[in-house]
Amino acid sequence: MRRIFLIGYMGAGKTTIGKDLSKRLGLSFIDLDCYIEGRYLKTVGQLFAEKGEDTFRKIERNMLQEVSMFEDVLISTGGGTPCFFENMEFMNRNGKTVYLRVSVDELVKRLELCKHTRPILKGHSGKELKDFVAESLSKRSPFYEQASVVFDAEVMLTDSDVQTISAALEKIL
């Protein structure tokens, strides 16, 4: 039985790379945010706005535990997932965790383009966005660094990079 959790900051590429990687590894793919949206029939943005972050984090933990019942699966988590409750420890007990590490500067470049779908970033832009990302990444890194494996995801990953990651993962699964 193989179960992988992809973790990392918003914009690290968990959703994008997770799809490709799961195909290469012959695993089913679940994106935790999409799973939550399908269950609640609301976007993550709506859940934050209507229920608040604390409730979102409880939902996220419950859904994480639910999807962790699946076998032979790659689960792309949300950026905050490993940093709340005992989620990181839970994932390490129930599968292999893979951290996609990206620098603050590169994250900010990507997030300027897609921050609208991420409620936590609402209202931040330019230098303020960079300061926010730098501060929150430094708080979250100790959780991310507990991963079973770390991959540098600083540049756009090509097919052959994904193949290399996939081959490396085959060895530890």
Ligand X SMILES: Nc1ncnc2c1ncn2[C@@H]1O[C@H](COP(=O)(O)OP(=O)(O)O)[C@@H](O)[C@H]1O
Ligand Y SMILES: O=C(O)C1=C[C@@H](OP(=O)(O)O)[C@@H](O)[C@H](O)C1
Binding-site residues for substrate, in ranges, read: 33, 57, 79, 140
SS3 101: strand
Q: How far is the CB of 150 from ligand Y (least distance, A)?
A: 17
- Which residues would be at the binding site for ligand X (CB under 6 A)? 8, 10-16, 79, 110, 113-114, 153, 156-157
Interacting positions 129-168 with ligand Y (CB under 6 A): none
- Residue matched to tokens 């992988």: 4
Considering beta carbons, is residue 19 or 24 the nearer one to Mg ion?
19
Considering beta carbons, is residue 68 or 127 the nearer one to Mg ion?
68
Q: Are 82 and 103 in contact (CB under 8 A)?
A: no
Chain centroid to CA 9: 6
Detail the residues annotated as belonging to a binding site for ATP.
11-16, 118
Among 2, 15, 85, 154, binds ligand Y (CB under 6 A): 15
Can you give 80-94 as a three-state secondary structure string? CHHHCCCHHHHHHHH
Detail the residues annotated as belonging to a binding site.
11-16, 33, 57, 79, 118, 140
Q: Is 43 in the site for ligand Y (CB under 6 A)?
A: no
Distances 117 to 47, 120, 122, 163, 168 between C-alpha atoms, Å = 12, 9, 9, 29, 32
Contact footprint for ligand Y (CB under 6 A):
10, 14-15, 33, 44, 78-80, 118-120
